[in-house]
Amino acid sequence: MHFEDPLVEEPLQGADAIAARAQLLWAAFPDLRLNPTGPRLTDGRHVSAPAKLLGTHREPLAGLAATNRFLVVHVVFFAELREGRLFRVRAFFDAYGAAVALGVLPKPGTLGGRALLLLRGFGLRPA
């Protein structure tokens, strides 16, 4: 089995790697929980499951100091099944939105957001 999400550089291979990733997240977000937001959909070979992750960032994670902000991230898990088991799982979510919620990046449309676009070479845009 392997797992991918927007924040991992390479797919995680095997249960041990996935468990280590989960442990890092639970350390940084000790109250982290996953709530389903709709029905699972399947065609027998693939399955998708919408959910939201909720938790408070209380400990450092990947060099980011604890922000003590509550985070809600809507995510869709898409998995390939083989022999009735999860084979490949991908998580899709708005990484920029999560960074904004944690206070790491500016909200779009704000002065900070426009300054970030300017630095990225997009020029000034009307508000």
Residues β-bridged to residue 3: 12, 89
Residue 123 structure tokens: 């020029």
| Residues of the chain where predicted confidence (pLDDT) is lower than 50 | none
Task: Convert the pLDDT of each residue in 38-49 to its tens digit.
Answer: 999 999 999 999
Under CATH, to which class is 2-93 assigned? alpha beta
The domain segmentation of the chain, as residue ranges, is: 2-93
**E strands of 6-57, at which residues?**
12-13, 33-36, 41-42, 46-56
Note if the pTM is more than 0.85: no
Note the pLDDT tens digit of each residue in 90-106.
Answer: 999 999 899 999 988 88
User: Judging by DSSP bridges, how do beta strands 41-42 and 12-13 pair with one another?
Assistant: unpaired
